[in-house]
Amino acid sequence: MNPLRHLKNRKVLAVVGFVALLLLVALWPSSVPVDLATVEQGPMRVTVDEEGETRVRDRFVVSAPVAGEVLRIVLEPGDTVRRGETVLASFMPAAPNPLDARSRAEAEAGVAAARAALGGAEAEEKRAEAALRLARSELERNRELAEQKIVSLQALEAKQTEARAAEEALRAAEFGVASATHQLEMAKARLLQVTGGRGRGRPIEIRSAIDGVVFKRFRESEAVVPAGEPLLVLGDPRRLEIVSDLLSSDAVKVSPGAPVLIEQWGGEKTLRGRVRRVEPSGFMKISALGVEEQRVNVIVDFEDPGEAWEALGDGYRVEVRIVIWQADDVLKVPTSSLFRHGEDWAVFAVDSGRARRRTVEVGRRNGLEAQVVSGLEAGQAVVVHPSDSLTDGARVARRES
């Protein structure tokens, strides 16, 4: 064979091979850049999130017991009041009409009834004190037995709950005595006789029935007011609760006793709470978008000590996350990795550099994570936010940040 011809053939073959290589590189499918996440095994919770508002659990509206001229009220919102000591308001009663025999008898009977109610309230307070002493004694006894492994922790917790309930019953009884005292003072005021005019008769002083602070003052300057006119609102800021109105479809998922996370209240630490009551009656509310919504009030108590939330006051805004389900060890993926494939949920799992569509069974979901019942294993990589152009078997590569 001619050496020149042989060399020419070799050059042609080299050129053809180079062109074929260029075509192969040009037509070779490139990897699709994607964001990846790892299937994890760990804790998960599902919550109902909503705004809430703090409010004083027991508030008292102080009103004028009889018609008259209220003197200037010097107390301001935030001032501390003491039970039986602080004068809330003073006023000169209007000159009353002379009482006939029947009216005087009714007023005296009202005083007697109020005095009897006060006696009943004081008896209830003593009964609550005795019950609290017994509950604390039982709690101490069960605490010692629990240390000796004689009784179970469940029994000890039950005694702790009974002691707390006894403390709340005593507080309620104390407020009952305060209310009965106020009612007695009002009944006695109806019997006061004055001849009318400033400087005649003795001014009526309304004293605080509780230890607390002034939350609202309805009237400051002197004025003539009718009987029952609201003057002040009192309350104990240490007895705060949170009310949050949930959509009725969310409220049916919440049960009394559910744990609550309290956030966005102004402090650095997330506070703990617990649902005390889901009100049985709903109400309609117009949303910011003008949509009619059925809402239900959920009442939450603080579980952290008062020192942790002492900066909060009445009517403060907070955000509550009510836990409706939680588990310590579940298989989970980011919710953003899920997509619909027919009637099923699916993900793109990465296997040897290729995206493989996997049908999965999904359990509980929250805004960020979803529980995987079957279809995946811990440690697998899945595509987050898969695009519509991503197909089964496509080459993928992690997108560089």
Give the integer Cα–Cα distance in Å for 76 and 218: 10
- Beta carbons of 65 and 189 less than 8 angstroms apart: yes
- Beta carbons of 179 and 120 less than 8 angstroms apart: no
The sheet carrying 204-207 orders its strands as: 204-207, 87-93, 68-70, 223-225
Tokens of 80: 């501390």
**Helix (H) or strand (E) run with residue 322 in it:** strand 317-334
CA terminus-to-terminus distance, the chain: 60
Give the integer Cα–Cα distance in Å for 230 and 225: 9
* DSSP-derived 3-state class of residue 177: helix
Give the integer Cα–Cα distance in Å for 140 and 138: 5
* DSSP-derived 3-state class of residue 255: coil
Residues in the chain: 401
* pLDDT tens digits in sequence order for the chain, 401 residues long: 555 555 566 666 666 666 666 565 444 556 788 889 999 999 999 999 999 999 988 888 998 887 888 889 999 998 999 998 999 988 876 665 666 677 778 778 888 888 888 888 888 888 888 888 888 887 777 777 777 777 677 776 777 888 788 888 888 888 888 888 888 888 887 776 543 444 445 788 889 988 889 989 998 888 888 888 899 999 888 889 999 999 999 999 999 999 999 999 998 899 999 999 999 999 999 888 888 999 999 999 999 998 899 899 888 999 999 999 999 999 999 999 999 988 999 999 998 888 999 999 999 998 899 999 999 999 999 999 998 888 888 888 888 76
Identity (one letter) of the amino acid at 200? R
212 C-beta neighbours (distance < 10 Å), count? 22
